Structure 1
């Protein structure tokens, strides 16, 4: 009888372990654990020239669009301006910003563009204009 209890207990334990191993996982749970936590943080980080604003730049411009004033600037990665660029638009009071990060590898023709800050269509137009003006 004791052997049966032990066999049942062992079987239940193995079932619970197998269930836990195959349980559904959700992205927020996975992201909070190693090694995924570090990989996720790296995906969201920007190169130093972007995050530290240490690029080659043009003078910023005050512009008006949609009845509002903005400050627009453009910079690029030092020694690699042809492949790594960032345009930024600031609200007139400087409390909000939006960006357009454009990158490509040396062997590609087209840029991969990443819009930052969820701009409306007016601000997105300013970002695209800044990019175009700096890539004649």
Structure 2
């Protein structure tokens, strides 16, 4: 009888402990540490290959000065798909930073992603460049 009680108690402890653990939802980090979620997460933060490689159709840069610092402003797009995928890029000529505006059109919708945490002035330069390069939008 005591043996059965010990087994029953052990079984209850295991089952109850499992139920308690199952009732608590995982954290976001827990999910991102599992293979399926990790792959989906990496896909979400992946930039197009032509952006990562810096190999797109491009135009000559323009230089501008802001607060005594010189920047190069460039435009690049996905080869053979310039109307749908474009990147405006600002590069500090002293190599201290770079910022971008990635614009992707799909299903008659425009999605723009700001890259590199630009200052409001640099972001304005990026958005103005997009407007200049896409006058019909």
| The two structures share one fold, judged by TM-score above 0.5 | yes
Residue 54 of structure 1 deviates from its aligned partner by: 1.5
**Which residues of structure 1 form unaligned runs of 5+?**
none
Distance 2:21 2:38 in 1: 21
Moved over 3 A (4+): none
Q: In the comparison of the two structures, how many residue pairs are matched?
A: 134
Give a deviation string over 1:80-136, Cα, whole Å, max 9, x none: 11111111111131221111000011x31x411100111111100110111111111
Q: Is the 8 A contact 1:66 1:122 kept in 2?
A: no
Q: Is the 8 A contact 1:90 1:96 kept in 2?
A: yes
**1:45: which partner in 2?**
46
SS in 1 for 2:50: helix
Distance 2:93 2:27 in 1: 40
C-alpha RMSD over aligned residues: 1.3
**Which residues of structure 2 form unaligned runs of 5+?**
none
TM-score, reference length from structure 2? 0.90
TM-score, reference length from structure 1? 0.91
Distance 1:93 1:66 in 2: 14
Task: Write the mapping of 1:61-100 to structure 2, written as runs, cut at 5 A.
Answer: 61-100=62-101
**2:112: which partner in 1?**
113
